[in-house]
Every structure is written in C-alpha cells, then in structure tokens.
Amino acid sequence: MFIDQTRPIVIERSPANAGMPDPCAKCDARGQSVCSAMDAADLSRLADIAVVQSYDPGATVVEEGDLAAYFYNITAGYARLCKLLPDGRRQIMGFPTRGHFLGLAVTTTYGFSVEAITPLRLCRFSRAKLRAVINDFPQFESRLLETAVHELVVAQGQMLLLGRKTARERLASFLMSELVTQEACACPRNHVHLPMTRADIADYLGLTIETVSRSFSRLKTDRLIDLHGGAAEVTILDRRRLAAIGDGET
C-alpha cells in the first residue's frame, strides 16, 4: 500500500501484484454493480485487474478534462459528478453511490469531475484491460450495455427535471430517486440519507439554496416528509403522494 501525496487518497495495489485477498470475495456492492453479471468462479478475472482505492471526503477522484484511461466501480460511500460552466457556475449531474459504474459515457477525456462526499471506496479498472474481460465474457458486456442505457434514461430524466418541473416537483423527484437507490442497498424502508449539502442539492436541481430549504419545509408542513439532523435524514411519510408530486400529477 502506498500514499499518493498529490491527492488525499490511499491506493491498495491489485491482488495480482501484491498478494492481497480477492477484493470481490466479500464485496458488499456486488449485488448492485455490473460485477453481478460475473459468476463467482470468474470474478478472479476482475480482481486481477482491479485497483482498490479509498478517498477522504472532499478529495477529487477524476478531474474534468483528464485523459479517460479508467472505469470506476463504487463499492462504498457517496460521490458527486459535477461540471463547471465557463462563468464558474457548477452543475451537479448526480450523486453516485455503492454499485454505480462510472466512465462509460466518455470518449478520450472525462467530461465531468468526480468528488468524494463521504469516505469513498472504489475499484479502478484500466479501460484496455477491462476490454479484454468484456471480450471473454459476453454476459458482462450485456450488463455494461444495460448500465449505459440506464445512464441515458437518467440523463433524459434530469433534462425534464431541469427544464419543466417546479421546485417542489424537482425536490420530490430527487427524494424518490434517492429512496429507490438506497432501498436497493437494503437501507430502511421509507428512509433517505442525504450526505450531500443543501448547496449540492441546489446545484443538482438547478435551484438556489433558499428555494431548496423552502421546498423541504413545505413538504414537511404538508406531512409528506419528516426531517432529522438538519435534513440529513429524511423519512418519507406519504410515498404515493410524494411520487405523484415528483411526476407532476398534483
């Protein structure tokens, strides 16, 4: 194990090089990630090319404009995908968490930055080495295609959210999306953990911090949600109504 002094990151060498235990054997994210397409007996192929990395909160994983040499599979923690506009404004494109696979929708350079919100752990795969695995395992290629299609659907939903929905509808959509994501990770039902800041949420929804705060308060007043820990923990009180608001039905 060595420390890269240029960024607050600890990199653990791949098991093929360092004799480490198979990182796939006890990975909690396998069920939610593209790795689930691989049989247990074949996971060693992925483990041999995986470099396990850990980042502190606030660290940069990928810098916008960097050469797109790697794919990343998040196994623990939360990150934010963001892009800077020419005038310095920031647009957050998403909050990937455990099971998310990053880097499919890029060409020669990354069109976004990836920053750790919480302590973040991920597996990094060389694009060239992963292509060899894809060629040998068609089921893995199919899962990657499903992931790419899902990313496209999410991007289309984000376009609708930013272009047509009201502030109340945007926040309701965001909370329902996080709820579905976290329930897939076996989180408590109707509970949403929001490790990101209000400013992060505002930059994702295309709103001001004040508007986000008012929208949270209104949803609470309407008995749709309850807030704990300064809105870091949200309980969904009326899932059906909140989903309807997010879909623009009320």
CA distance 98 to 30: 9
Highest mean pLDDT among 45-49, 52-56, 163-167: 52-56
Angle at 48 between CA 47 and CA 50, to 5 degrees: 60
Can you give the pLDDT at residue 2?
A: 34
Q: Could you read off the pLDDT of 34-45 as tens digits, one per residue?
A: 776 677 767 777
Q: Could you read off the pLDDT of 123-145 as tens digits, one per residue?
A: 998 988 888 887 777 777 777 77
Q: Could you read off the pLDDT of 182-215 as tens digits, one per residue?
A: 877 667 788 999 999 999 999 999 899 999 999 9
State the maximum Cα–Cα separation within the chain, in Å, rounded to a whole number.
57
Rounded to two decimals, the pTM is: 0.80
Instruction: With cut-offs at 50, 70 and 90, classify the pLDDT of residue 8.
Output: very low
CA distance 72 to 51: 10
